[in-house]
Amino acid sequence: MSYERPLLAPLRAALSRPTPVVHVLIGPRQVGKTTITRQIQESIGISSIYATADSLVPLDSAWIETQWRRAVAEEAASGGPEIRVLILGSSALLMQQGLTESLAGRFFLHRCTHWGYPA
């Protein structure tokens, strides 16, 4: 049995169609951000790549460029739709500060919260 968080359906729908914005999924550690991402990858029906920036060594712009080139190459090889970007992060305040400075108006923020119990 596989559990799907309520956030999965709207996020999958948003990433299933061409979108001009970067989607950002934020929330505390261990709430299911990566699990949701993997479930989307398995069910969306388009090729995808996954890259993690969790590194002991700080990553620079060259790492970002490498990931972008991987995505462009994958998209060209598959003849697939335009590239969609989903960024995950647990440091909401730091991410929001960086996003508002560099991607103002070009991203959509999704919040992944702790598990709830329906009443």
Q: How big is the chain by its Cα radius of gyration, in Å?
A: 15
In the DSSP assignment, the letter for residue 93 is H
Q: Report which of residues 100 and 10 the model is more confident about.
A: 10
Q: Is residue 119 part of a domain?
A: no
Exposure of 109 by Cβ count < 10 A (0-12 exposed, 13-18 middle, 19+ buried)? middle
Q: For residue 29, what is the DSSP state?
A: T
Look at residue 118 and tell me if it is in a domain: no
**Residue 72 belongs to some domain of the structure:** yes
45 within a domain of the structure (yes/no): yes
**Degrees, nearest 5: CA angle 42-8-79:** 40
Domain-located, residue 15: yes
- For residue range 85-107, list pLDDT tens digits in order: 888 877 655 555 555 566 666 77
Q: State the total domains in the chain.
A: 1
Q: What does the pLDDT look like over 13-64, one tens digit per residue?
A: 998 888 788 888 888 888 888 999 889 988 887 888 888 877 778 788 888 8
Neighbours of 14 (CB within 10 A): 16
Considering the domain boundaries, does residue 44 fall inside one?
Answer: yes
- Domain ranges, residue 12: 8-111
- 29/60 Cα distance (integer angstroms): 23
